[in-house]
Amino acid sequence: MSKHRDLGLTDHEYELIVSGLGREPNDVELAMLSLMWSEHCAYKHSKKLLGRLPTDGPHVLVGPGENAGAVDVGNGQAVAFKVESHNHPSAVEPFQGAATGVGGILRDVFAVGARPIAVLDSLRFGEVAESERSRYLLEHAVAGIGHYGNSIGVPTVGGEIYFESSYEQNCLVNAMCVGLAPHARLTSSAAVGLGNVLILLGALTGRDGIGGASVLASAELSGADESKRPTVQIGDPFAEKKVMECCLELLDSELLASLQDLGAAGLTSAASEMASKGEVGLDIDVASVPLREPDMEPFEIMVSESQERMLCVVEPEKVAAVLEVCERWEVLATPIGQVTDTGQFRILKHGEQVGELPVPLLVDECPLYDLAPEPPTAPSFAAPPAVVAPDADARSQLLALLGSANLASRRAVFEQYDPIVQSRTVRRPEQADAAVLALPGAGSGFGHGTSGIAISIDGNGRRVAVDPRAGAAEAVYECAANLACVGAEPLGLTNCLNFGNPEKPHVAWQLEQAVQGLADACEQLGVPVIGGNVSLYNESPDGPILPTPVVGMVGAVEDVHHVGRLGFGSAGDAIALVGEFEPRRDGSELAKLSGEAPVGTLPVRDVAATRKAHESVRAGIRSGALCSAHDIAEGGIAVALAEAAIAGGIGASVSLPVDPFGEDLGSGFIVSGPERAVLGLAGARLLGHVGGNELVIDGLLSVSVDQLASAHSAGLGIN
């Protein structure tokens, strides 16, 4: 009676399964159902909320429901992208957890027919200055990301890292991939065609990963994590490179009817979702599945999460051609089943049935739960230790901020990644607020035209903890602001919702409010959500993580020869503040350094003014009127000025009309250029001019650019 509970199913869910089957499931069926009805696969605590997000837009080609969404970027080209989490596996084994997180998101993108052209990552760890465990997780997760991306030949072009004590036991590793495809190559994962053949491509199936991502991501981590180490998958980027090239050639040759990657829940998830989308049945014979380990049980074969595998549907007359292409790429390809009209998912072994489940029961009939949200009656986050004295002067505060782990240079991290492989990268980390990639020229797959895309990924758990709705909206505004700084117009958005246990009322309230905030901001900016991921149960006995919705956004660049840069340019250029910037210190980085918990209120936003500021900066960059543009983010306007001075290697002298360290993410910009140009932007306020070798803020501080750069470069403490 307790077997279903051991697999994560409640008594009520088990009763629904028995009712749906008209009998009790056998061991194979129960294992498959337990994974498909897990939080990770069924989204049973979040699916209703996700319906609030806007998904339609003029550029959308593929929306939510496929492996990745896609938008039109002109010239017959599409850009596909998605962000996903690999949090709990990375907390157990950071190198392989992060590496296979990258491998999984790459497969999502080439499963829709797009060649991966960029990776970004969003990472959260405990306080590395205080915790050896967090430093270990950081260093090994970064190494895993670099290992997989560098080996497969996909550039890592951007990302973000933040450190808070709440992530000590539950680090976050969110990976985003962007891919490029001609419209004609975009494909669906829906299984079609009675009698068509199911072919398994790629690596051998082993016991590694059994009950891995799908189980680890559907329950809180306990203190006995060592026992879960074998469930983390092992990645092989060189094998995935061959699988990727093979799949893209098969699609170009029009040999596949549909294609799906194998991720969490392995064959069970991939095959049942294909059958559900195509409204068909499937037969799979586990005796045909090539194994890495002998004597694997049928349930093990069906739920294995071994990496670098894809499942495709092929018309019988094309099977020989598919196998020939696979042999040329040295990719193992094995027919393992066929499409049927039964609506049943049958599992066979040497032709003998060992399991049979209705496809709708597996995929569509998991109960969806209503949350019971209640705002917390008291702050649920402890104050961190203070590292800046309450009476510290502005100069000391600025240097402390620049040297803090959350704001310090990430050079020691991103130098471990190859940002320029494939020769598309126009702006890489610390050159601009968003990565910029060139696209192929019109009518040619060779060389580059003048158009491009910009990509950014953002989130701030402290701000969301202060106000989940406004903080989540800020992540959207900030992502769009980053794109504006390089002259890009948003085309679409993907998100990853990282939260604690949704069965707890205050976590449910955070999740509901944050989703509404994302929906509000996307509606206001006209940016559709084309896909994403939900990661819940990010908790330990010490409590939940900070609520952390992460947003990834792709925008269109008209001319890659006219994109913004972060650093100040020439002496004498005017510096202006653009936007209705209304900063507060609640939830800010200075508040953290001062020992304050993430509590308070966030600024009330004038959305029309925010959108107008974004449009104005975007136009200034596209016209070439501005020499630099940088959004004001964590640390406030003083940190933004310091970062622009460091990046440009030149000082500035300014007077500030606002709190130098207050924050209002996504609403304000620091721009520089000829005075007439900067003051021609909507609502621009002149602050001062570029020049000298110091950052001088009138009446507050004077610091040399060398001192700023020294503080900024040493804060992360990674060699």
In which band, very low, low, confident or very high, does the pLDDT at 216 lie, cut at 50, 70 and 90?
A: very low
What pLDDT score does 719 carry? Answer: 58
Cα separation of 62 and 47, whole Å? 19
What is the CA angle 413-419-424, rounded to 5?
165
Provide the CA 31 distance to its chain's centre, in angstroms.
Answer: 29
| 361: in domain | yes
Q: What mean pLDDT do residues 587-598 have?
A: 95
CA distances, 517 to each of 369, 468, 522, 601 (Å)? 21, 7, 9, 15
What pLDDT score does 1 carry? Answer: 59
pLDDT at 607 over 50: yes
Is 183 annotated as catalytic? no
In which band, very low, low, confident or very high, does the pLDDT at 442 lie, cut at 50, 70 and 90?
A: low
Around 672, how many Cα atoms within 13 Å sit in the side-chain half-sphere? Answer: 27
* Positive/negative CA dihedral, 312, 315, 321, 324: positive
Q: Which amino acid is at 19?
A: S
Shared domain check, 682 and 570: yes
What pLDDT score does 227 carry? Answer: 45
- Strand, helix or coil for residue 376: coil
Q: How many domains does the chain have?
A: 2
Percent of the chain with pLDDT strictly greater than 70: 96
pLDDT at 292 over 80: yes
Which is catalytic among the residues 40, 88, 614, 712? 40
Q: Which of 668, 466, 471, 699 is nearest to 581 (CA)?
A: 668
Shared domain check, 670 and 607: yes
| 582: in domain | yes
In which band, very low, low, confident or very high, does the pLDDT at 76 lie, cut at 50, 70 and 90?
A: very high
Q: What mean pLDDT do residues 488-505 have?
A: 97
Provide the CA 392 distance to its chain's centre, in angstroms.
Answer: 37
Token code pair at residue 186: 């975009």
| 652: in domain | yes
Element (H or E) spanning 711, and its range?
helix 705-714
pLDDT at 210 over 90: no
In angstroms, the first-to-last Cα distance of the chain is: 53
Measured N-to-C along each axis, helices 132-152 and 237-252 cross at an angle, to the nearest 10 degrees, of 40
| 244: in domain | yes
| 362: in domain | yes
Give the domain CATH number at 687: 3.90.650.10
Shared domain check, 350 and 256: yes
Cα separation of 114 and 119, whole Å? 13
Please give the sequence-ordered ranges of beta strands (E in DSSP) within 524-614, or none if there are none: 529-535, 539-540, 543-544, 548-557, 574-578
Torsion angle of alpha carbons 384, 389, 395, 398, nearest 10°?
0
Q: What is the largest distance, in Å, between two alpha-carbon atoms of the chain? A: 83
In which band, very low, low, confident or very high, does the pLDDT at 208 lie, cut at 50, 70 and 90?
A: confident
| 266: in domain | yes
Q: What mean pLDDT do residues 638-654 have?
A: 98
| 655: in domain | yes
Token code pair at residue 472: 């989540």
Provide the 10 A C-beta neighbour count for residue 330.
10
pLDDT at 468 over 90: yes
Which is catalytic among the residues 4, 45, 59, 86? 86
**Which residues, in sequence order, are CB contacts of 90 under 8 Å at separation 6+?**
97, 98, 101, 137, 141, 144, 171, 173
In which band, very low, low, confident or very high, does the pLDDT at 380 lie, cut at 50, 70 and 90?
A: confident
**Which residues, in sequence order, are CB contacts of 625 under 8 Å at separation 6+?**
673, 674, 677, 678, 680
Is 12 annotated as catalytic? no
Q: What mean pLDDT do residues 66-79 have?
A: 96
Q: What mean pLDDT do residues 604-613 have?
A: 95
* Positive/negative CA dihedral, 204, 206, 208, 211: positive
pLDDT digits (tens, 9 = 90+) for 502-555: 999 999 999 999 999 999 999 999 999 999 999 999 998 889 999 999 999 999
Q: What mean pLDDT do residues 309-330 have?
A: 98
Range of the domain at 199: 1-37+187-366
Question: Over the chain, what is the mean pLDDT?
Answer: 94
Token code pair at residue 503: 């069965």
Torsion angle of alpha carbons 123, 128, 130, 136, nearest 10°?
100
pLDDT at 71 over 70: yes
Shared domain check, 287 and 400: no
What is the CA angle 426-428-431, rounded to 5?
100
Around 112, how many Cα atoms within 13 Å sit in the side-chain half-sphere? Answer: 31
- Strand, helix or coil for residue 41: helix
Shared domain check, 284 and 354: yes
What pLDDT score does 35 carry? Answer: 94
Shared domain check, 317 and 200: yes
pLDDT digits (tens, 9 = 90+) for 25-35: 999 999 999 99
In which band, very low, low, confident or very high, does the pLDDT at 192 lie, cut at 50, 70 and 90?
A: very high
What pLDDT score does 377 carry? Answer: 85
What pLDDT score does 187 carry? Answer: 97
* Three-state SS annotation for 388-425: CCCCCCHHHHHHHHHCCCCCCCCHHHHCCCCCCCCCCE
Shared domain check, 333 and 211: yes
Q: Which of 309, 344, 366 delimits the end of a domain?
A: 366
> Whole-prediction pTM value?
0.95
Cα separation of 608 and 527, whole Å? 15
* Positive/negative CA dihedral, 91, 95, 100, 102: positive
| 424: in domain | no
pLDDT digits (tens, 9 = 90+) for 223-263: 444 444 446 778 999 999 999 999 999 999 999 999 999 98
Shared domain check, 400 and 318: no
* Positive/negative CA dihedral, 128, 132, 133, 137: positive
Shared domain check, 283 and 400: no
Shared domain check, 269 and 324: yes
Shared domain check, 400 and 311: no
Shared domain check, 718 and 572: yes
In which band, very low, low, confident or very high, does the pLDDT at 42 lie, cut at 50, 70 and 90?
A: very high
